[in-house]
Amino acid sequence: MVKEFNADIISTTLKWKARKVSGEHFGMVKLMEGKLTIQNNRIVGGNFVINMESITVDDIKSPEWNKKLLDHLWSDDFFSVGSYKIALLSNIKSEKFTADKATVTGDLTIKGITKPITFEVVRNGNIFTSKITVDRTLYNIRYGFGKFFQSLGDNMIYDEFILDVKLVVRQLTQVTTTKKSI
């Protein structure tokens, strides 16, 4: 049996968190659209479009400093949002869900650079949750990268950021396949 799902973009949340030596920053980014296909208790397909123009900074309350960080995230030092308005998670597949958990693989595209990624997913009804660890240096996001800038000290930003995902889906179709006898 094949089940196809659309992402509920209103209920789905994508929270990002990035750490540096002296603290962390966090915020949100919105899903534009997404589809997921499940067959025999495995994810056999899926594609998700993330709206990079929707990125927010939620930990800085000062409007001036919030805008500074947001502008910096939009810049070529980070996500180059003017040139790359979307990020993609595509070609998603998983092993069979066991106790509502599965390892998922796919291709993550940020700034036009596509790299394979693997992460764990927990399924609870129509909600899929995951904490996806992304190595930003693979996507040419190297600002504050300690390996290139040895004198950063407390301003060094760690290579990885976390995307905390709560994906809510709505079933579109259910196709039952039957074997015909000859």
Residue at 181 is within a domain = no
Rounded CA-CA distance 79/110 in Å is 7
Share of the chain above pLDDT 70, in %: 86
Domain-embedded: residue 133: yes
Q: Is pLDDT above 80 for 96?
A: yes
Question: Residue 99: inside a domain, yes or no?
Answer: yes
Sign of the C-alpha dihedral, residues 98, 100, 103, 107?
positive
Q: What is the mean pLDDT of residues 149-169?
A: 73
User: Both tokens of residue 122?
Assistant: 């927990």
At residue 98, the pLDDT reads 96
Q: What is the pLDDT of residues 64-84, one digit of tens each?
A: 999 998 998 998 888 999 999
In a domain, 27, yes or no: yes
Identify the CATH number of the domain in which residue 106 sits.
Answer: 2.40.128.110
pTM: 0.86
- Owning domain of residue 142: 2-175
Residue 62 lies in a domain: yes
Percent of the chain, pLDDT > 90?
A: 70
Is the separation of the CB atoms in 169 and 5 below 8 Å? yes
Q: By C-alpha distance, which of 29, 76, 26, 72 is closest to 49?
A: 29
Which residues 6+ apart lie within 8 Å of 166 measured at CB?
12, 13, 127, 128, 129
In the chain, the number of structural domains is: 1
Query: What's the mean pLDDT in 74-101?
Result: 94
